[in-house]
Chain A
């Protein structure tokens, strides 16, 4: 079963079907032809015509022998002549010629006409002639019948052969059709299996590529905070001048921030793993998206430097959204973390929740520098980091995780470039029931 064999088999079976259908057409045509012939042959009915001729000859003989009246003899004479004339007509004459029985018939007729009683022919001579004609006809009649039956039998034979041919053609066409169908089904199954295998392979490749990137990322991201901590510890334990209390405090602060980054990195990776496993079940209810945004903002603004950059749009009324508050908080925390990390530090970062038709929105606007189209395109792939930020701390899981969590709740996270170069990260959620 090589790939190259398939077209040949299709072609072969297709050709067989065409041949069979062709045979069917030929057989059908010939069957019709033979049937028509048989119909006409039945009406020729040579046996009957020949029998009629014999009867008229005998009737004339009887009339003459019984010394019948002139008109009766004349009627019988005319009838016999008409039968002999009939035998001389096209189809009948050909039949007799082909059967070798035509010979002499014309002579008999001419002899008869020469003794026409209407023209004063001699009755005795006529009787002798007709009697001889009767004998001659008797000798031929059985051969006419035999010939006719022979022809009928031949036609029946041909008809039977044609029927068999037609049946064989139908059977062949059916067989090849079945073969072709089986081949197609088999091919379809193979294609489906190949597609499935290809699909599995692609997923496997993507997964392994993802794990490789994750491993690289983790190595990089874990290494940096560890190096920070190591450096701090090294400074504190260095022989010589003991560190001042302020210095100890500063190093401790640096180390704690590094540890916090590590913890957040681990939390994100673990949550993503749970989302991937489908182990995160959102508890959906109507919550005020504005309040969740305020809480996320407050948490993100733990550092004074960050607090100065973050701003919450004043919202006059609640923004009801159908969501899980914990997951939504996680989404906004991720988006805020990204903005603080990647946005330029010379502008405010705004978080605005609002209603928009059937959805609840929360836009996070940062002042730039935005993302290149390529980065925008790949921003939601796992473990992808923007080309400019490879060295900044981050898992590459923040945006994908945020989108996953939003979609779990029937919403989405999208990135929209701003005209002045900044970026809008937009969380949309289904509108909740009005409070």
Chain B
């Protein structure tokens, strides 16, 4: 299963939406979680529609539109979205109304927008796109499920697919996730920092003029032991007929917190240049969507951006990037991305 990346865009806590100035300026977040650095949406989305959209919808629609423009695709052959928590802003809003009004007369607006597939549904509605429309919400594999479905669509003969991952944070979600020890709430915590954003892609079945990178292969697995990681990586490289020396950059989802899995990966790939992406995206159920986006942009621009290289040396050219991420040690991901031959 292979898919060509012919367009991609991402909104993250850093400046990633404007590809001309990609990660040039670094935003220092003084808050305990990383909120998205959002573009001027009015230039991208019809202001009449914009008013009713929650942030996760705005971030997703803007990223999706931009990816489609890059790929010169007007109506995608499928719309597939991964989101770990879905539309939490509207979910919270409606829950609060239920409680405040003691189940009295309620406005349905927040409820209507609260379902997980509001993002994919809104995109279909705005584009008048009648095609396959799926939403996955599967913890740290929400985006991976979506990506697997996208590649399956291409295998089934669909020309191009819009696929993305998105999650938003509210102060209450942040507080709750901190309380359940999923993320840090203060700087002393040895836990990951929560972030939010959206990353969308147009994947095409065949390489075209717009294609700049390819997803060669991807695998998602659960609950491995630290000792299993080496075997999983070797097996993955083997099935792609590659050795670790063929990888120009390893992009990992570590974030400065002690972690046996990333240590094992770092040890296995110690001869390779290793880069990180969660200092940009923060941690979330769909952080890996951004990891895939960053790998694609690096391959496109043949550039390793500031604040990403962790160890080793960038050799000057990028043909293949191996992405490795895990969420809470449970949901693991390996993806091989390559530069398109020109």
A joins B in a complex: no
